[in-house]
């Protein structure tokens, strides 16, 4: 109840409400953008996209609908994978790992290997 009270007071002033919605929109969009860029890289790409949608869904109905749509698809996918035999899950994990490794190699090839990577790591320099 306290949460809605401060938001109602904020929404009562047009300029403050508009500024707040713009700030939420910018922050949410930046988080989603970072998530989209990092999806093929090792790490929490999709989790970051969903976190950005959570931020946007606090103020925008379209983002709330998109978040519900995404939740539904993630749930269906995890249920489907969970119902498959172990060998199918192992193959899916191996294909995913190979894809992530491939993207990582391409990114490192295009951007160069950072200088902080130890020399014994099997990547070209």
Kindly report, residue by residue over 101-111, the tens digit of the pLDDT.
Answer: 887 778 777 77
Q: How far is CA 8 from CA 12, 60, 81, 115, in A?
A: 6, 15, 43, 51
pTM of the model: 0.61
Q: Tell me: do 75 and 92 sit in the same domain.
A: no
Q: Tell me: do 8 and 67 sit in the same domain.
A: yes
Domain that holds residue 115: 85-125
Q: Tell me: do 63 and 13 sit in the same domain.
A: yes
Q: Tell me: do 102 and 43 sit in the same domain.
A: no
Q: Tell me: do 69 and 111 sit in the same domain.
A: no
Q: Tell me: do 75 and 91 sit in the same domain.
A: no
Q: How confident is the model at residue 123 (pLDDT cuts 50, 70, 90)?
A: low
Total of domains in the chain = 2
Provide the mean pLDDT of the chain. 82
Q: Tell me: do 50 and 103 sit in the same domain.
A: no
Kindly report, residue by residue over 71-95, the tens digit of the pLDDT.
Answer: 899 889 889 989 999 999 999 989 9
Kindly report, residue by residue over 5-50, the tens digit of the pLDDT.
Answer: 766 666 666 777 788 888 999 999 999 999 888 877 767 888 898 9
């Amino acid at each position: 109840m306290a949460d809605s009270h401060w938001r109602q007071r904020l929404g009562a002033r047009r300029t403050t409400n508009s500024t707040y919605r713009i700030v939420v929109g910018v922050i949410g969009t930046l988080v989603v953008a970072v998530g989209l860029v990092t999806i093929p890289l090792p790490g929490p790409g999709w989790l970051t996209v969903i976190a950005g949608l959570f931020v946007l869904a606090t103020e925008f109905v379209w983002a709330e609908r998109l978040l519900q749509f995404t939740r539904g698809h993630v749930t269906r996918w995890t249920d489907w994978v969970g119902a498959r035999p172990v060998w199918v899950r192992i193959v899916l994990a191996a294909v995913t790992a190979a894809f992530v490794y491939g993207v990582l190699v391409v990114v490192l090839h295009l951007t160069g290997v950072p200088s902080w990577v130890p020399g014994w790591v099997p990547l070209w320099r």
